[in-house]
Amino acid sequence: MKKWQVLALALLMAVPATGFAQIGKLKLDSKVDSMHKAGVGPVIFPHDSHEKLYKCNDCHPKIFKEKRGESGISMKLNMDGKFCGSPNCHNSPKAFPLFECTKCHTNVGAAK
C-alpha cells in the first residue's frame, strides 16, 4: 500500500459510519458583550442532538456557515427568522420557541 492509501484508510476508519465526525456541543460566545447586557450567558448549542435529527446539508451552508464565527448569529436575527429562528427550526411547531431563554443560554438572569 502507498502512503496516501494508508492515510486515507486511517481517516476513513476515524469517521463514524454516519459519514461525518460528531461535533458534540458548541459554545457560542462571539456576542458575549451583548449577552452580558441582556443578562444571559453564552449559548451551549447541542450539535450532537441535532445530528440525530437532521442531515448536514439541512443546515449547512443554507442556514449556517461551517466555519466558527462566520455566520454572525444574533438574537435579533434569530427573532427575525434567520438561523435558529428559521421557519423549519425554532420558529415552527417542531421545536421549543426562541423565547425560552434557559433552553439555550447559560447564566440566564445574571447580573447586568
Report the C-alpha dihedral over residues 80, 86, 89, 93, rounded to 10 degrees: 60
* pLDDT > 70 in the chain, percent: 81
Q: Which helix (H) or strand (E) holds 26?
A: strand 25-28
Domains of the chain in sequence order: 23-103 (3.90.10.10)
pLDDT tens-digit series, residues 54-108? 999 999 999 999 888 899 999 999 999 999 999 999 999 989 999 999 999 999 9
C-alpha to C-alpha distance for 87 and 1, rounded to whole angstroms: 50
C-alpha to C-alpha distance for 61 and 86, rounded to whole angstroms: 13
Residue 55 DSSP code: -
